[in-house]
């Protein structure tokens, strides 16, 4: 019922996603995180309908039409990709991205799965399993966790978080994808409203090439990219109690020349390679693993980091001439 209803709302909402927005937060319509697990509780359910009524031109009528329907169409449920032994790494990554895309972007105003970045990897993988069971629309952070889960059995593919902060018409936007590296080439998996701000095929020779590719995509939507945050490689052990290191390097593009940015990205690439040779902390025992469980099924305390890794500096400040942003009369292009 939930997936069928969400599907109907999104089919009609996608036509309106480029219209002007109200109550902007983080550059877009405010959204909530479902902290009560699934199925959603009554309060969350009603809040989703209020969101539809607020952002859709025919919101109230649309909500009544869908809620009063007795023959909602069945929404197809995507299947988790499977592979033949001869399937190449690029083909597997494309299949994973196709699966993520088929889940659809979540326009409901409520993120269905609560992602706490401080949780150990094993707990985040439990959430990813739940995503595959429920097959509900997701946002970019959920797609990163799902991408890690679906590539865990691909030891030749290294994964790392890659996040962006951009600005358009006075508002800031945040986005994240899962960077991938295999066979000497970089690429990305993810979810976005914009086709060129998620998947990148495994064809970029350096991390600089990959970042520049995303930067060019942002410029295509009149966004100015200000910061790039890059994490370390993520363990392939789904039972690891390690935390994902989300921000090993924080690069301020306003303060870096192109050459300085290239050197910082080369340094980060070397740091990631060094981590491959370091032994990971032991996985929890079976009893402890079971006690951690999924955050949707019971509370668990995150494993606190003993020490913090020194973040890479982003270089000396470079004074740049400010270019006037286009006056779009409050119009916001969300990414």
Q: Which of 166, 192, 240, 294 is the catalytic position?
A: 192
Q: Which of 56, 107, 175, 181 is the catalytic position?
A: 175
| 140 carries an active-site annotation | yes
Give the number of other CB atoms < 10 A from CB of residue 71: 5
Q: Which of 51, 140, 223, 235 is the catalytic position?
A: 140
Q: Is 51 strand, coil or helix?
A: helix
Phi then psi dihedrals of residue 61, to 5 deg:
-65, -40
Placement of tokens 């192109």 in the chain: 258
Q: List the 171-182 sheet strands across, edge first.
A: 200-204, 185-189, 171-182, 158-168, 224-230, 249-252
What tokens does 174 get? 């945040």
Cα distance between residue 194 and residue 334, in whole Å: 9
Angle between helices 2-13 and 42-55 (to 10 degrees): 20
| 182 carries an active-site annotation | no
| 226 carries an active-site annotation | no
Rounded-to-10 torsion of CA 193, 195, 199, 201: -170
Q: Which residues are catalytic?
A: 140, 175, 192
């Amino acid at each position: 019922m939930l997936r069928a209803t969400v599907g109907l709302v999104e089919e009609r909402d996608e036509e309106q996603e480029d219209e002007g927005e109200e109550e902007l937060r983080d550059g877009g319509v405010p959204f909530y995180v479902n902290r009560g697990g699934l199925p959603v509780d009554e309060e969350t359910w009603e809040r989703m309908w209020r969101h539809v009524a607020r952002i859709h031109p025919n919101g109230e009528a649309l909500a009544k039409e869908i809620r009063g329907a007795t023959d909602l169409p069945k929404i197809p449920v995507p299947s988790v990709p499977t592979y033949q032994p001869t399937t190449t790494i690029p083909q597997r990554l494309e299949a994973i991205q196709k699966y993520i895309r088929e889940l659809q972007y979540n326009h409901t105003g409520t993120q269905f799965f609560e992602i706490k970045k401080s949780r150990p990897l094993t707990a985040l993988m439990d959430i990813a399993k739940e995503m595959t069971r429920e097959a509900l629309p997701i946002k970019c952070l959920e797609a990163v966790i799902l991408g890690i889960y679906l590539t865990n059995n691909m030891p030749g593919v290294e994964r790392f978080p890659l996040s962006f902060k951009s600005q358009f018409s006075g508002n800031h936007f945040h986005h994240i994808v899962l960077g991938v590296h295999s066979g000497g080439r970089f690429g990305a998996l993810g979810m976005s409203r914009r086709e060129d701000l998620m998947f990148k095929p495994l064809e970029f020779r350096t991390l600089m090439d990959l970042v520049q590719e995303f930067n060019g995509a942002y410029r295509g939507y009149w966004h100015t990219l200000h910061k790039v945050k890059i994490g370390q490689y993520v363990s392939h052990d789904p039972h690891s109690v390690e935390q994902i290191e989300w921000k090993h390097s924080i690069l301020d593009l306003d303060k870096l020349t192109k050459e300085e940015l290239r050197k910082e990205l080369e340094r980060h690439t070397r740091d990631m390679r060094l981590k491959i040779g370091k032994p990971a902390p032991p996985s929890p025992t079976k009893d402890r693993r079971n006690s951690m469980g999924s955050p949707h099924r019971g509370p668990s305390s995150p494993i606190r980091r003993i020490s913090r890794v020194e973040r890479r500096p982003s270089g000396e400040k470079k004074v740049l001439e400010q270019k006037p942003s286009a006056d779009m009369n409050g119009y916001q292009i969300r990414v």
